[in-house]
Structure 1
């Protein structure tokens, strides 16, 4: 993404965004509304389906996406309440497109025997078809989807199970800035038919944004922070002046802009895949446990905050994290085999706060994301000697993330002393306390540090300390 000017007007943006969403949902609905995982099966060491189902039920994951229609895992999730996405393979498309009876047989084999005990909600037809080298499948995609939709309708499931197809970000020819997002003109005719079908059946446009790959193409420290939802100076969309503090929102909003440019702005966007690998080959930039934990953990927190994105404020897109397990048989660089949130022995690869036992009921305050249980004592404050410009950037970033910065506004308990340093200390600490109290939450481009000295004064109370 091209370098973009820094905005110092984030507080107004943040307060506007914060006031536009409602967080008064029960925790189970709160988490399950947005967070799913992909269950890739290119491996020879996966646990039994029953063990996977038990693992999923021990988490707050509410949705599972399969790349096929594995009957064993579909049956294992019966009566679990977990929503299931199933897939028709690329190789199925020609027969599904050519013969409505083939679509009927597919639905009768892969859906009817399991629904509604197994909560199938979406069928994805093919994977990244529009950007494959095999262009022969492109004209067959929409007919295949239409025949499957008609087969669902005939089985009285049309209003309950939707049909879509999954796209890579390469379906866009322009995405920077996000407001300029455009689809590949060569695909316009197919996309118009596809989007009309989606709109008519209230089905989503599903996309695979990967900030990991964006960082690999631009491996600067500031890009890493932007991709990992970590404190950064932000990037302003030169087309509309809106500020972006993370790559995920920028990529999703570019898709929204592309949909809007074709007149389909009301079609729902679903993120079918996104994730970060925990290891890779020695020549790969970015894979590490620390980065994977930061990306996935901060993504989940961002979704649960309901802040939304600059072009879609106040709501979170349904998002499926890639992946449930590492897949030891996948080809390609080492990172391809290391996206798993869990190991195949069912232990966590790293903790991103998905275990039910590690969660608390979210605050009903419209300005507070879910606050994890504190895991360390202390407060996050600016280092000595940091410039006011950098501290103002820290304030702007922290206050754009849905935390309550009203105490440092005029009349607030922490407004006096009215200095950038004092306001920054409050905002940076509240960000650190709200988003997990991890070391990377008190970094702010190496301008922050942890202290055991309570900075509270008079009526100005800093969250933190021992619990």
Structure 2
């Protein structure tokens, strides 16, 4: 099957090993704070909520003064936005840009840690040629206004793109920007290279699965065990959609000669409910995607083309937005409810970062699973760099040399290292949690009391 990150003919994914949680905020984990709702908590309540989490950054779609002020002295990085409708005025008159910066940045910086101003959202794919032609002049005028306020290099200017700015996406290593956008994109990137601002992109494995709703696609999108997909040009095996999409953007930047420009994921997320005819929205899927994404980011493993560093990622969204147009899923991306309780727990609260009490729980195969599936589970786990030597010839757990016994050890090894969450013991519905210690003789299963 061909790679196709945009039209989405992808399959399966991996749960990345979870590194230790930290009680402080984490700069690479952000959240989108949309306001298309009539039932949102007060900004001060939201600021207090964010202080109780490890979310390190907040992205606004506009420059709401009350919210910016409420985030003062919280240590959270802030992205504020220029709406598409404001672009023509900013592009045509430098004084308008100066007034915008004077009203929305200067009164609050540096107590409110404004880091980026995004000029427009998905402008290139809006099909509005006038707006597209005005995007770069607007960005330049905002940057000049920031420079005049002695904020050069302190507050960056960028814009946000959809994945549709990419052309070919098969394979990821040979991805490039669509030819129809190439001149505009090159000019934008030249400006961004000169100012040190990041390319901001909106990858959504959620929409990938909606376009190709097969079990193997879902596993690939949710960072769950799967066979992976091999990039035919580079030979890289991708184990999840997120990495493949981000690396496709990396390849497009590299092919245009902008290897030094960093990538920021401005939006990604998964709906927890939707209309009856929608494929993909559910609490289990949303919890798996966002929880596993956060674990992936915390691992600092990076992507195959950008190893050893997590891409700054803003999860969509902080709250549901009941006034958004579109299908029911558009109203159900919130990590938190309007009463500030969690919609579902993905380990973002500081209180959940303390070590959990040790309990006797192990992950083992369900009865009746075929050997072929058990072998697939073994291959997956041992391909992730975990120590499978105990179930290799001569190892303490090699005997009995059965698929059932070896798979039980491997699957539990994965569960214990990947976060000990229920979704870490799934293996395409072939695993279950057990309170019975499967260790025997000299074979000790990780976990337990």
Q: Scaled by the length of structure 2, what TM-score is found?
A: 0.91
Q: Verify the 8 A CA contact 1:231 1:441 in the aligned structure 2.
A: no
Q: CA deviation at 1:35?
A: 0.7
Matched, 1:128 2:111: no
Matched, 1:46 2:40: yes
Alignment-derived partner of residue 390 in structure 1: 373
Q: Measure the CA separation in 2 of the matches of 1:39 and 1:280.
A: 20
Q: Which among 375, 393, 415 is matched to residue 432 of structure 1?
A: 415
Matched, 1:27 2:15: no
Deviation string, structure 1 residues 38-86 (Cα, Å, up to 9, x no partner): 0000011111110010011011111100000111011111111011000
Q: Which among 339, 344, 350 is matched to residue 345 of structure 1?
A: 339
Q: CA deviation at 1:461?
A: 2.9
User: Which shifted more, 442-451 or 279-288?
Assistant: 442-451
Which aligned pairs between 1:94-173 and structure 2 lie closer than 5 A? 94-173=88-167
Q: Measure the CA separation in 2 of the matches of 1:409 and 1:270.
A: 41
- Structure 2 unaligned spans of 5+: 5-9
User: 3-state DSSP class of the match of 2:164?
Assistant: helix
Q: Verify the 8 A CA contact 2:209 2:218 in the aligned structure 1.
A: yes
Alignment-derived partner of residue 379 in structure 1: 362
Alignment-derived partner of residue 437 in structure 2: 454
Q: Verify the 8 A CA contact 2:3 2:170 in the aligned structure 1.
A: no
Q: Measure the CA separation in 1 of the matches of 2:413 and 2:171.
A: 30
Which aligned pairs between 1:230-245 and structure 2 lie closer than 5 A? 230-245=224-239
Q: CA deviation at 1:458?
A: 5.0
Alignment-derived partner of residue 278 in structure 1: 272
Q: 1:115 to 1:401 in 2, by over 3 A?
A: farther
Q: Which among 84, 87, 93 is matched to residue 90 of structure 1?
A: 84
Q: Measure the CA separation in 1 of the matches of 2:216 and 2:384.
A: 18
| C-alpha RMSD of the superposition | 2.7
Q: Measure the CA separation in 2 of the matches of 1:166 and 1:142.
A: 12
Deviation string, structure 1 residues 112-156 (Cα, Å, up to 9, x no partner): 100000000111110000100212111111111112112112211
Q: Measure the CA separation in 2 of the matches of 1:385 and 1:120.
A: 56
Q: 1:296 to 1:191 in 2, by over 3 A?
A: same
Matched, 1:2 2:10: no
Q: Measure the CA separation in 1 of the matches of 2:56 and 2:332.
A: 22
Q: 1:413 to 1:69 in 2, by over 3 A?
A: farther
Alignment-derived partner of residue 309 in structure 1: 303
User: Which shifted more, 169-178 or 436-445?
Assistant: 436-445
Deviation string, structure 1 residues 322-350 (Cα, Å, up to 9, x no partner): 00000011111010011100111111111
Q: Which among 282, 289, 298 is matched to residue 292 of structure 2?
A: 298
Q: Measure the CA separation in 1 of the matches of 2:400 and 2:138.
A: 65
Alignment-derived partner of residue 212 in structure 2: 218
Q: Measure the CA separation in 2 of the matches of 1:286 and 1:309.
A: 25
Q: CA deviation at 1:405?
A: 4.8
Q: 1:42 to 1:375 in 2, by over 3 A?
A: farther
Q: Verify the 8 A CA contact 1:93 1:125 in the aligned structure 2.
A: yes
Q: Measure the CA separation in 1 of the matches of 2:108 and 2:72.
A: 8
User: Which shifted more, 186-195 or 411-420?
Assistant: 411-420
Q: CA deviation at 1:169?
A: 0.6
Deviation string, structure 1 residues 302-337 (Cα, Å, up to 9, x no partner): 111112112222211100000000001111101001
Q: Verify the 8 A CA contact 1:35 1:61 in the aligned structure 2.
A: yes
Alignment-derived partner of residue 7 in structure 2: none
User: Which shifted more, 439-448 or 202-211?
Assistant: 439-448
- Structure 1 unaligned spans of 5+: 7-13, 361-371
Matched, 1:250 2:233: no
Q: Measure the CA separation in 1 of the matches of 2:312 and 2:217.
A: 25
Q: 1:357 to 1:23 in 2, by over 3 A?
A: closer
User: 3-state DSSP class of the match of 1:429?
Assistant: helix
Q: 1:178 to 1:78 in 2, by over 3 A?
A: same
Q: Verify the 8 A CA contact 2:362 2:447 in the aligned structure 1.
A: yes
Q: Which among 174, 177, 185 is matched to residue 191 of structure 1?
A: 185
Q: CA deviation at 1:104?
A: 1.5
Deviation string, structure 1 residues 226-273 (Cα, Å, up to 9, x no partner): 111111121111221211111111111111111111111221110000
Q: CA deviation at 1:193?
A: 1.0
Q: Measure the CA separation in 2 of the matches of 1:226 and 1:435.
A: 16
Q: Scaled by the length of structure 1, what TM-score is found?
A: 0.87
